[in-house]
Chain A
């Protein structure tokens, strides 16, 4: 549509790219978080952009959903526009995606953080418990007060999977070192803990982490999207009294509080999306049973560099974490969570 404006009367610096060859279009529908959620929608879009950068024949576009009611029309509009690859982001879009995929069996779909029965929907899921396990181990090794904490945005599996892994990582440290580091804010056995019931309001995050700090925690891992920034900002202002571990996207890129962050439990959505889009653009058909589950082994989940804490984390702890990572990949250490993708 903008092509009409560009053609003919283009300014001196040369005509725009004329659509001589038909480009491969990748279209993405966000869930209600919107494109700027600094979490999985943003990550998925990053992956789309990376794919475009790697293959100039790919054209990408996105639409945001404001409410559940928008999922179906947004997916339908992209089907009508004959997108070659339609990406739905977030498990909340499962029902709408499944319905539209069934009605358009020849259309290629992909789904982040969810899985449906239709074979033309390629699922991308992430076993974040594995990476959170490493973060729990690091936290247990770094705490001075003997208490670490985590809290969530809402008691749903994509959140509690981080908290389960974190709690198990601490428990594993205790078992290996015969220590007694406590985890506040989450009890894996009863699946109960602290939640903000909000993924946006930083104030809610700070409120929860303040009570955890008051109980003695000196390392906190918020799993509450943007609300967690209330904790990281407070940690940075605490003058080293406590620090934080971020989740999803390396906190040194996504938050302004890098100095207060020990590490990040990374969920590598961008690479998964990029690979899927590049494969689809290369002509292969992605089916449901080829779906990927991100693990430590395939780098679908990982822990980020220590950045400012690099000098503060003891070398032997770093070595132990690397060893632990290999053990988890080899399967000698098993990480389990009720919330793991099947």
Chain B
């Protein structure tokens, strides 16, 4: 926050500099300053979230809380107990997400294979891959001025169609995977197209329609699982037939580690979205529409067409994220919660990534790491997995609270003034 006051004078005059694409030297300077500040803000937000998370860990542990009852008699008890608890929790979070030093020495001494060393990273990437897609979906819609709350529903339809293509159609290996992925993307695109066309033709607000379509998708999933031909006949509970191995994303590091080609697709998708936004005509049009629909219309851009394409593409991305959940290594069959919360997490990922494609990819990586590490933290330190959800939410609140509030109430204003005001205030 102190860094911010130092940076503020340099950032004041952006009003003279309307958000123009051709950059002057000053514009470039301002932009890098802002970008640098974004990193500072992000890091500070993560640190703050970790501190508050630590307090929550202490408060939720009765044994440690007991030591606070005689804090003034012997404060060392409370302090060491708290420190040990929190340090152990975060150490396990790290070991589960990035690297467990014990496995490295184990590997060097021949006690375990290299797989154990890479297992945490593998888990992180596995959890991150679908979040990249849903994060991009939300971010792309954001850039076009739409708030896509429907990534969850789009991912759900994507997961359904990808799974159906994965076990109903017998095809040779590579082609089958492509067909299943395309089916997932088309399913998501259809689910995004509906709110897009409703917004363009009737002005129905996309927040309302996408939320409602989330429910439709969820109940459609629970219904279709138990239908004949979809439900696994040898099973008694709500689970579909498994996706054939020919339609599954290949594992990248052998069968023992869960990381699969989904993460490669995610990187490609990030690159594609970055190109689409910054280099293509349609990207220019959608940013123009996002900045100011009236001006864009006056300039001869079809706002309705842009909205429809935008939502369909955003839906397709979320659908691919869904396809990852059933074609990858996390599950091979449809169950009511197969899509987890990737769509809703995608909203957080998009905000944390500042609705920029590569930012989204990094944010997804962080969320994937929190998820993977959280599993170990829960198992080794007996700390509820909900804490991870709280950490994720806190990070995003700290980063996005000013920008988020503006975005919800006056999305266009926030877009246009983002450079100047939303970063200057509050930080």
Question: Which of A3-11, A169-177, A212-220, A274-282 is near enough to bind chain B?
Answer: A3-11
- Give, as a whole number of angstroms, the nearest-CB distance from B98 to chain A: 15
Check: A63 CB closer than 8 A to any chain B CB. Answer: yes
B236 touching A91 by the CB < 8 A rule?
yes
Q: Is the CB of B385 within 8 A of A68?
A: no
Given that A11-B77, A339-B236 are contacting pairs, would A77 and B379 also be in contact in the complex, using a CB cutoff of 8 Å?
A: yes
Cβ–Cβ contact A5 & B85, under 8 A: yes
Q: State in angstroms the CA–CA spacing of A121 and B223 once bound together.
A: 31
With A11-B77, A81-B379, A156-B226 as known contacts, state yes or no: A73 contacts B237, CB within 8 Å: no
Is there contact, CB below 8 Å, between A92 and B239? yes
B77 near A1: Cβ-Cβ < 8 Å = no
CA distance A339 to B233 in the complex (A): 12
Least CB distance, A323 to chain B, in whole angstroms: 31
Determine the distance from Cα of A20 to Cα of B228 in the docked complex, in whole angstroms. Answer: 56
| Nearest neighbor of A66 in chain B, beta-carbon distance | B385
User: A63 near B379 (CB under 8 angstroms)?
Assistant: yes
The residues of A that contact B337 with a CB separation of less than 8 Å are: 32, 67-68
The answer to whether B237 touches A11, judged by C-beta atoms less than 8 angstroms apart, is no
Query: Knowing A73-B375, A77-B376, A197-B219 touch, does A92 contact B340 (C-beta < 8 A)?
Result: no
A274: min CB distance to chain B, Å: 21
Map CB proximity to B onto A70-87 as digits: 1 under 8 Å, 0 otherwise: 101110011001000000
CB neighbours of B385 from chain A (8 A): 63-64, 66, 70
Which of A1, A9, A154, A341 gathers most chain B CB within 10 Å? A1
Segment from B183-191, B294-302, B326-334, B391-399 that makes contact with A: B326-334
Give the contacting residue for B382; candidates A61, A66, A95; CB below 8 A. A61
Residue among B74, B222, B341 with max Cβ neighbours from chain A (10 Å): B222
The smallest C-beta distance from B375 to any residue of chain A, in angstroms, reads 5
Within 8 Å CB of A155, what residues of B?
A: 226
Mark the stretch among B3-11, B62-70, B281-289 that contacts chain A. Answer: B62-70
**Beta-carbon contact of A91 and B380 below 8 Å:** no
Smallest CB-CB separation from B83: which chain A residue?
Answer: A5
Q: Which residue of A lies closest to B381 (CB)?
A: A1
Is B127 located at the chain interface by the 8 A CB criterion? yes
| Residue numbers in A under 8 Å from B222 (CB-CB) | 154, 197
* A85-110, CB < 8 A from B: 90-92, 94-95
Cα(A91)–Cα(B70), bound, Å:
47
Interface string of B126-157 (1 = CB under 8 A from A): 11000000000000000000000000000000
Give chain A's interface residue range (CB within 8 Å of chain B). Answer: 35 or more
In the complex with contacts A67-B337, A78-B379, A158-B331 CB distance below 8 A: no
Contact call B340/A68, Cβ cutoff below 8 A: yes
A54 at the interface (CB under 8 A from B): no
CB neighbors of A among B53-69 (8 A): 63-64, 66-67
CB neighbours (8 Å) of B226 from chain A are: 154-156
In the complex, what residues of B have CB within 8 A of residue A94's CB?
A: 235
- Selected contact of A157 from candidates B219, B237, B242, B382, CB within 8 Å: B237
Please give, as numbers and ranges, the residues of chain A lying within 8 Å of B239 by CB-CB distance: 91-92
A91 and B375 within 8 A (CB): no
A2 close to chain B: CB less than 8 A: yes
Pair B80/A5 contact, Cβ less than 8 Å: yes
Which of B74, B81, B96, B379: most chain A Cβ within 10 A? B379
- Chain B residues contacting A330 (CB-CB under 8 Å) are none
- Within 8 Å of chain A (Cβ to Cβ): is B30? no
Contact with B along A128-160 (1 / 0, CB 8 A): 000000000000000000000000001111100
- The answer to whether A73 touches B85, judged by C-beta atoms less than 8 angstroms apart, is no
| Other-chain residue from B84, B96, B258, B384 in contact with A4 (beta carbon distance below 8 A) | B84
Interface string of A268-310 (1 = CB under 8 A from B): 0000000000000000000000000000000000000000000
Q: How many Å lie between the Cα of A233 and that of B378 in the bound state?
A: 35
List 14 A–B pairs whose Cβ atoms lie within 8 Å, in order of A's numbering: A63-B375, A66-B385, A67-B338, A67-B341, A68-B331, A91-B235, A91-B236, A154-B222, A154-B336, A156-B226, A156-B237, A156-B238, A339-B236, A341-B236
Known contacts A5-B84, A9-B77, A72-B329; can you find 16 more A-B pairs with CB under 8 A? A1-B380, A4-B84, A5-B81, A11-B66, A11-B74, A61-B379, A61-B382, A68-B340, A69-B127, A73-B123, A92-B237, A92-B239, A92-B335, A156-B236, A156-B237, A158-B237
Which A residues have a C-beta under 8 Å from some C-beta of B? 1-2, 4-6, 9, 11, 32, 61, 63-64, 66-70, 72-74, 77-78, 81, 90-92, 94-95, 113-114, 154-158, 197, 339, 341
Q: What is the interface of chain B, defined by CB distance below 8 A to chain A?
A: 63-64, 66-67, 70, 74, 76-77, 80-81, 84-85, 88, 96, 123, 126-127, 219, 222-223, 226, 235-239, 242, 258, 325, 329-333, 335-338, 340-341, 372, 375-376, 378-382, 384-385
Q: Return the 6 tightest CB-CB contacts between A and B, nearest first.
A: A157-B236, A67-B340, A69-B330, A77-B379, A91-B237, A68-B331
